[in-house]
Amino acid sequence: MTDWHAPDDLVARYTDGSLPDSDAWSLEKHLESCTGCATRVSRAVAATATGAVLADVRQAVVGAAPTEQAHTAAAGDGLLAHARLWSSRHLVPPVADSRWARVLWAAGPAVRGAWLPAVLLVGIGAMALAYGADFAGARPLLLALAPVVPVAGVALSFGAHADPLHELTASTPSAGLRLVLTRTAVVLAVSLPLLTLAGLALPSYGGPGAAAWLLPGLALTLASLALGGWLGLRAATAVTGGGWLCAVLAPALSPPDGAVSAALTHQTSAYLGGAPAQGAWAAAAVVCAALLAARGTAYDRLERR
């Protein structure tokens, strides 16, 4: 709860439609928890021409014939049943009986698509290379790929291409940066433990530890979000993820003597190993988080493109 209440001039500008979108969304969010302000806004709207039209519509609905009311109720029940059926098929998996599993499924569009199988494929593929093909560079290869996995998840979490309810979601007071961070948190909550556990299961040949990719992955994700305020999320993730892969994998996959394992170990050690490298990634994460906070309002428009 807060002691702040919407001043009269703010209510008046909201009522006549002259309040900027960002301020209107903030006020609507406040109205969800403030009955007094909600009552004032409702009365202000009722006093306008729009309020008169709404009153006439309500009167017409209330005064409808009993058969029309029954038909309307039946139609409403049918729509509700259809919406629930669509939701059960497209938003919440039938096996998700846990409340938290449903929240995770609904909050992260990337989890519902091909991204989650791709995360599992990266981990399982690395173990297959290590134990099936006896490839000594399996862990360095996993460490090189792991930082771009959450970046790819971020790219698949936002926009009409990822969310069938995008237009509805983008119009809510909780859209914008808050929605971006919520979905990013879901992506990180899924990818971080899976890939770190896969790294722990791989044999080490002197390269960085299984958790060495965590700070770089966080920094690249925050860099994508910060850059997304200027370029859009898909372009930003392509720049950060593609840049990382080119910097780490390109030199390692074409060594002059064909020693791919040694080259991978050298590259990942240079970028991920040791306190100086990890400290640099931590500093980069802080800088990117500050840039994201400064550019957070850009996502109010980004989600509506």
pLDDT value at 131 more than 90: yes
Q: Is 227 exposed, middle or buried (0-12, 13-18, 19+ CB in 10 A)?
A: buried
Q: Are residues 77 and 113 both part of a single domain?
A: no
DSSP string, 231-251: H-HHHHHHHHHHHHHHHHHHH
Same domain, 26 and 140: no
Query: Do 84 and 23 fall within a single domain?
Result: no
User: Mean of the pLDDT values across residues 102-128?
Assistant: 80
Other CB atoms within 10 A of residue 1 CB:
5
| pLDDT for residue 110 | 75
Query: CA-to-CA distance for 160 and 74, rounded, in angstroms?
Result: 31
Is 64's pLDDT higher than 70?
no
pLDDT at 100 over 70: no
Do residues 21 and 131 both lie within one domain? Answer: no
Identify which has the larger pLDDT, 86 or 293. 293
Q: pLDDT tens digit string along 158-177?
A: 766 666 666 666 666 667 78
Write a three-state SS string for 120-179.
Answer: HHHHHHHHHHHHHCCCCCHHHHHHHHCCHHHHHHHHCCCCCCCCCCHHHHHCCCCCCHHH
**Are 180 and 89 within one domain?**
no
Contact status, residue 200 vs residue 210, Cβ threshold 8 Å = yes
Phi-psi region of 34 (alpha: psi -120 to 50; beta: other; left: phi over 0): beta
Both 35 and 57 in one domain: the answer is yes
Q: Give CA–CA dist 265/97, Å, rounded.
A: 43
Structural domain count, the chain = 3
At 232, give phi and psi (nearest 5°).
90, 150
Q: What is the pLDDT, as a whole number, of residue 166?
A: 66
| Parent domain of 48 | 8-62
**Cα(172)–Cα(157) distance, integer angstroms:** 17
* Same-domain check for residues 251 and 138: yes
> Which band of pLDDT confidence, cut at 50, 70 and 90, is reported for residue 72?
very low
Higher local confidence (pLDDT), 21 or 151: 151
In a domain, 48, yes or no: yes
The gap from C-alpha 115 to its chain's centroid, in whole angstroms, comes to 13
Q: Could you tell me if 43 and 118 lie in one domain? A: no
Q: Is residue 305's pLDDT more than 50?
A: no
Tell me if residue 13 falls in helix, strand or coil.
helix
- Looking at the structure, do residues 58 and 175 belong to the same domain, yes or no? no
Rounded to the nearest angstrom, the gap between the alpha carbon of residue 66 and the centroid of all alpha carbons in its chain is 47
202 shares a domain with 285: yes
Q: Is residue 87 part of a domain?
A: yes
Question: Which of helix, strand or coil describes residue 93?
Answer: coil
Banded pLDDT at 90 (limits 50, 70, 90) = very low
Give the distance from CA 196 to its chain's centroid.
Answer: 21
Q: Is the pLDDT of residue 109 over 90?
A: no
User: CA–CA separation, 223 vs 235, rounded Å?
Assistant: 12
100 domain-assigned = no
Q: Taking phi first (over 0 means left), then psi (-120 to 50 degrees means alpha), and beta for anything else, what does residue 2 get? A: beta
Given a cut of 60, whether residue 68 has pLDDT beyond it is no
b/e sequence 102-112, b meaning 16+ C-beta within 10 Å: eebbbbbbbbb
Identify whether 200 is part of a domain. yes
Do residues 252 and 164 share a domain? yes
Apex 95 CA angle, 93 and 99, nearest 5: 80
Threshold 0.85, pTM exceeds: no
**Which DSSP string do the residues of 18-80 spell out, in sequence order?**
-S-HHHHHHHHHHHTT-HHHHHHHHHHHHTSHHHHHHHHHHHHHHTS-HHHHHHHHHHHHHHH
Residue 1 lies in a domain: no
- Answer yes or no: is 99 within a domain: no
Task: Report DSSP state, residue 158.
Answer: S
Within a 10 A sphere around the Cβ of 143, how many other Cβ atoms? 32
Q: Is residue 3 one of the residues assigned to a domain?
A: no
pLDDT for 219-260, tens place per residue?
999 999 999 988 888 899 999 999 999 999 888 877 766 588
Residue 26 lies in a domain: yes
> Strand (E) positions, the chain?
none
Shared-domain flag, residues 78 and 187: no
